[in-house]
Structures are given as structure tokens and as C-alpha cells.
Amino acid sequence: MANKEKNTDQLIAKIVEGIEDVKGQNIDILDLREIENTVCDYFIICDGTSNTQVGAIVSSIQKTASKALQEKAWHIEGTENQEWVLMDYVNVVVHVFQKHIREFYDIESLWGDAKITSIPSNY
């Protein structure tokens, strides 16, 4: 079990690094482990300013996780319009939004019981 958590922590760190590398904004990590019947252990949510930046964030996450940990997303959807891209790494699901789409769906509020860690932007 400890090895799974270590791998998950490393994956989260690399996903956040991938987001930050291309200046993704408003990064939140939702810890869902204490909530019953969740599809994964963590959500990572961030936003970009345009469909181009959303695509760049997704690409950066893929490259960073793959290069450092040989991790590939099990499933990715939403790449057609780049407004909301979901990347499923099984234990960690990443949501990359355009800001207005994130505000509209406000999925953080749907998981109000989750422990949320916000990563401050360094830019």
C-alpha cells in the first residue's frame, strides 16, 4: 500500500510540474480518499486561458509523467475542442479547463467534502 501511495504522490508532483511548465493556472488538488464511492483517489484541476493553452497543458502533463515515471493516461477525452480535457491516470484524474468552462461547471463544489490543496502560481 505504501508503494502505491508513493507512486501516486510522484505522479501528482509530475502532473503539477507539467501544468506549471506551461503556466497553467489555479491548480487545485482534491483528495477524495475519505469520500465513499469515488472513481479515483485524487482530482487535479487547473485552467488555461485558451484552447491553445489547454492543449499545451495536456501535452506537457503527458510528456512530464511519461518521461519521469513511464506513466501514460489510461483515457483522455475532450481534446477535440480543448475546453475541458479529462485525463484519467486511474488513481488520479486531471481536469484541464478553459477558465470560463471551469467556472460554469464548478466541479470543486460538487466535491465539497474533499480536502483541497491549492498550489500557488509562481508567475
Reply yes or no on whether the pLDDT at 3 is more than 90.
no
Name the 3-class secondary structure at 13. helix
The helix or strand, by DSSP H or E, that contains position 100, with its residue range, turns out to be helix 99-105
Number of structural domains found in the chain: 1
- 97 forms beta bridges with 47, 84
Domain range enclosing 46: 2-119
- Condensed to tens digits (0 to 9), the pLDDT of residues 64-117 reads 999 988 989 999 999 999 999 999 999 999 999 999 999 999 999 988 889 999
- Condensed to tens digits (0 to 9), the pLDDT of residues 31-54 reads 999 998 888 999 999 999 999 999
- Condensed to tens digits (0 to 9), the pLDDT of residues 52-73 reads 999 999 999 999 999 988 989 9
Instruction: Kindly report the length of the chain.
Output: 123
- What is the signed CA dihedral for 45, 75, 35, 24, rounded to 10 degrees? -10
CATH number of the domain that residue 23 is part of: 3.30.460.10
| Contacts with 72 (C-beta within 8 Å, 6 or more apart), sequence order | 62, 65, 66
Phi-psi region of 42 (alpha: psi -120 to 50; beta: other; left: phi over 0): beta
